[in-house]
Chain A
Amino acid sequence: MPSAREMWRMAESSNSVVIQGLTKRFGRFVAVNHINLEVRAGEVFGFLGPNGAGKSTTIRMLCGLLRPTEGSANVAGFDVAQKPEMVRQNIGYMSQKFSLYNDLRVIENIRLFAGLYSVPAGQLQSRIDWVLEMANLKGQERLITATLPGGWKQRLALGCAVLHKPPILFLDEPTSGVDPIARRQFWELIHQMADEGVTVFVTTHYMEEAEYCNRLALIFRGAIVALGSPSELKQNSIRGDLLLVECTPLGEALEILQSVPGVIDAAVFGNALHLVVENAQTAPAQVRSSLAQRKVAVQRIERIRPSLEDVFVALTTIKGAERAA
């Protein structure tokens, strides 16, 4: 029977990132508000939220680039405020904006970061080859970085961040401004790394990207509003059932449906409405009649599985309402 102390240590070691009450204030603005989080070793952990929600601020604190105002964070076993240099030895970081040197050649950027991470001389060539292979940049070593297409740049930045084989990788919106095909390729790389045991902490505001993560935290206005695997979030976060309603005109329908009994929430999704209802069996008839009364043409009503976007909209409306109240 292991002692409590040993249990604690085991729990520690299986967690790559442990965040407790982490808070960052800029003047009176609270960017990150007392968040708690544990990221397990080897998982792809997604940090999902709109722009300005506090994603980058959190990731910067975890990399030791910003000092937390309150609370603590432990990364790879080291406290980010007390031992930022030890943290940096054990992480790879890709900032939101492309921030390799545009005026250097591909190989010069790689050699620079290999040097900064103190990649042992004996491993240098094999690591460089590995990165060129991984980033699909073989034969392009002599190109000036500025001339690379966006997707290539992202892969090069990822390569430079993992030259020293860090156990934890922080990626801050790694795929923003990259075309969809390059984005998919990039996520394949992320999963490759996770398969090799690397913990990946990735922020994004693309809902479809969040589906690629093992677990997700939804962050809104500096606070975590939901936490779990994508399927857990979809099952547990919405109270009620979800209906898709295709009708015209949308705006009028939205207005009508918000006051129909049995409808909890209504929101526009593309060219249709998503309704959260108390009962998916009885609600369609009620919706049809309410809309027919006001001469709104209904093309289709169907029960659907909620997407992460539905979850997100549902959770943020609740938070918004709480704040307003």
Chain B
Amino acid sequence: MSGRRVIVMARKELVQILRDPQSLMIVILMPVILVVLFGYGVNIDLKGLPVFVFDRDGTQQSQDFLKHLQASQYFHVQRVVGNYDALTRGLDNGSAKMGIVIPWNFSQRLRSGGPVQVQALVDATDDNTANILTGYVQGVVQAYSAQVQSQWLSAHGAPLQFAPIAVETRTWYNEDLESSAFIIPGVLALVMSVIGAFLTSLTIAREWERGTMEQLISTPVSAGEIMLGKLLPYFVLGMADTVVCALIAIYWFRVPFRGSFLALMGSSAMFMVVVLSMGFFISVLAKGQFAASQIALITTFLPAFLLSGFLFAIEQMPLPLQWITHVIPARYYVSVLKKIFLKGTPAALLYADLVPLAIFALVLGILATRSFHKRLT
């Protein structure tokens, strides 16, 4: 292995990246765009959902109930309608996510101490939103009925009662329950997949396509030197992008960062080796830029997006999918990222994720090295 040959290869590769507007855009703009996109655009928090109300009772009591509903930050009573049709129309055309129907005997039943049912019609097109909505509305109703109950009891001479058990909730790690804090750390895995696998797969396939590989392998440069020299610039750029993304996350989106910077860089370096090796391996097999880039995206970016726990919790996936996630390197990296950012887990406790990541890096690295020969076929 000659250090000089690796360096001249790396320098040549860097010059080519800097001279190619497309690569440059991917290296410089793509990370920023992805972080901002996921920071602002993907917001799984539900706030101020439009609600239509059909109040058939129209009493002070029903108005009081509606006020409670309105007071919750999750709902926004968009319209009070006069008939059932208007309510269903609102759900049909999407201007309402939920319709609340208060029965005509609402206040009367409550005064007489009997149970009363309020109807909630939920748009379950998006099942996730529907589940959350149902939960929220049940919470509001329960709180209101507890209040009504204690009022009724005190009005009928019973002593003021307290609910025997109350839950005192404290949210840890992501105290403000901001979904951006949950999502943004995982964006780093996406950025690295693109830089590491996608760009790398292009650069080697390009050499085969343009015929420059033939000239290259006619020189005494070894396969290992070619690989190292080619991957080094992408490693450095990928790590730089990681730092940039982390800084945007911390200082712009105010994502908490509680772990060690060293652990972040260490695990990122491992994941970088994983994606670079995959990109290299793919381009050696595909030998065409188009095929290589498509395969790279499907095998690295897509799993990092869907199966890593970045957006969708792995525990909620069907079992077979959960099994598959164990062979997705991004899963371990995303898990480490969330722990480092939000929990501040010390590096020593990250081994459950770091060990598999290291194994992937090692195996894929060896595979990539073995795959490349200085021969034409």
Q: How far is the CA of A83 from the CA of B370 in the complex (A)?
A: 19
Is A219 part of the contact surface with B, judged by Cβ < 8 Å? no
Which residues in window 50-109 of A have CB below 8 A to B?
A: 60, 63-67, 84-85, 88-89, 91, 93, 95, 97-104, 108
Determine the chain B residues whose CB is within 8 A of the CB of A103 once the complex forms.
Answer: 16, 19-20
The segment from A111-119, A204-212, A264-272 found at the interface with B is: A111-119
Q: How far is the CA of A67 from the CA of B376 in the complex (A)?
A: 9
Count of chain A residues with Cβ under 8 Å from any Cβ of B? 30
Given A103-B16, A118-B5, also A88-B220 (CB < 8 A): yes
Q: How far is the CA of A103 from the CA of B217 in the complex (A)?
A: 19
Which residues in window 336-377 of B have CB below 8 A to A?
A: 374-376
Q: How far is the CA of A85 from the CA of B223 in the complex (A)?
A: 11
Which residues in window 212-241 of B have CB below 8 A to A?
A: 212-222
Give 1 or 0 for each of B1-26: 1 = CB within 8 Å of chain A CB: 01011011101100110011000000
Determine the chain A residues whose CB is within 8 A of the CB of B12 once the complex forms.
Answer: 101, 104, 108, 112
Q: Is the interface of B mostly helix, strand, loop or mixed?
A: helix
Name, among A85, A93, A100, A116, the residue most crowded by chain B CB atoms within 10 Å (CB to CB). A116
Q: How far is the CA of A102 from the CA of B212 in the complex (A)?
A: 9
Interface size class of B (residues with CB under 8 A): 20 to 34
Q: How far is the CA of A84 from the CA of B222 in the complex (A)?
A: 11
Give 1 or 0 for each of A99-139: 1 = CB within 8 Å of chain B CB: 11111100010011101111000000000000000000000
Determine the chain B residues whose CB is within 8 A of the CB of A93 once the complex forms.
Answer: 215, 218
Given A65-B376, A115-B4, A118-B220, also A99-B15 (CB < 8 A): no
Q: How far is the CA of A118 from the CA of B217 in the complex (A)?
A: 14
A-B contact list, 20 entries, CB within 8 Å: A65-B217, A67-B375, A95-B211, A95-B218, A99-B210, A99-B214, A104-B12, A108-B12, A111-B8, A112-B8, A115-B4, A115-B8, A115-B9, A116-B8, A116-B216, A116-B220, A117-B219, A117-B220, A118-B5, A118-B220
Chain B's closest residue to A65 (CB) is B376
Given A60-B376, A118-B2, A118-B4, also A99-B215 (CB < 8 A): yes
Distance of B145 from chain A, by nearest CB (Å): 72
The reply to whether A108 and B5 form a contact with Cβ atoms under 8 Å apart is no
Q: Please give the residue numbers on chain A whose beta carbons come within 8 Å of chain B beta carbons, in ascending order.
A: 60, 63-67, 84-85, 88-89, 91, 93, 95, 97-104, 108, 111-113, 115-118, 157
Q: Of A66, A99, A116, which one neighbours B375 at CB under 8 angstroms?
A: A66
5 smallest A-B Cβ distances: which pairs?
A115-B8, A93-B218, A99-B215, A116-B219, A99-B211
Distance of A103 from chain B, by nearest CB (Å): 5
Distance of B297 from chain A, by nearest CB (Å): 24
Determine the chain A residues whose CB is within 8 A of the CB of B7 once the complex forms.
Answer: 115
Determine the chain B residues whose CB is within 8 A of the CB of A116 once the complex forms.
Answer: 5, 8-9, 216, 219-221
Q: How far is the CA of A67 from the CA of B217 in the complex (A)?
A: 14
Chain B's closest residue to A160 (CB) is B215
Q: Of B11, B16, B215, B222, which one neighbours A100 at CB under 8 angstroms?
A: B215
Determine the chain A residues whose CB is within 8 A of the CB of B211 once the complex forms.
Answer: 95, 97-99
Q: Of B8, B216, B376, which one neighbours A66 at CB under 8 angstroms?
A: B376
Chain B's closest residue to A26 (CB) is B377
Determine the chain B residues whose CB is within 8 A of the CB of A67 once the complex forms.
Answer: 375
Determine the chain B residues whose CB is within 8 A of the CB of A85 once the complex forms.
Answer: 220, 222
Determine the chain A residues whose CB is within 8 A of the CB of B11 once the complex forms.
Answer: 112
Chain B's closest residue to A101 (CB) is B212
Q: How far is the CA of A194 from the CA of B134 in the complex (A)?
A: 88
Q: How far is the CA of A2 from the CA of B217 in the complex (A)?
A: 40
Q: How far is the CA of A118 from the CA of B3 in the complex (A)?
A: 10
Distance of A66 from chain B, by nearest CB (Å): 6
The reply to whether B218 and A63 form a contact with Cβ atoms under 8 Å apart is yes
The reply to whether A108 and B15 form a contact with Cβ atoms under 8 Å apart is yes
The reply to whether A100 and B212 form a contact with Cβ atoms under 8 Å apart is yes
Which residues in window 196-218 of B have CB below 8 A to A?
A: 210-218
The reply to whether B220 and A89 form a contact with Cβ atoms under 8 Å apart is yes
Q: Of B15, B210, B219, which one neighbours A113 at CB under 8 angstroms?
A: B219
Q: How far is the CA of A125 from the CA of B356 in the complex (A)?
A: 49
Distance of A170 from chain B, by nearest CB (Å): 8
Determine the chain A residues whose CB is within 8 A of the CB of B210 once the complex forms.
Answer: 99, 102
Determine the chain A residues whose CB is within 8 A of the CB of B8 once the complex forms.
Answer: 111-112, 115-116
Chain B's closest residue to A111 (CB) is B8
Q: How far is the CA of A111 from the CA of B211 in the complex (A)?
A: 19
Q: How far is the CA of A116 from the CA of B2 in the complex (A)?
A: 9
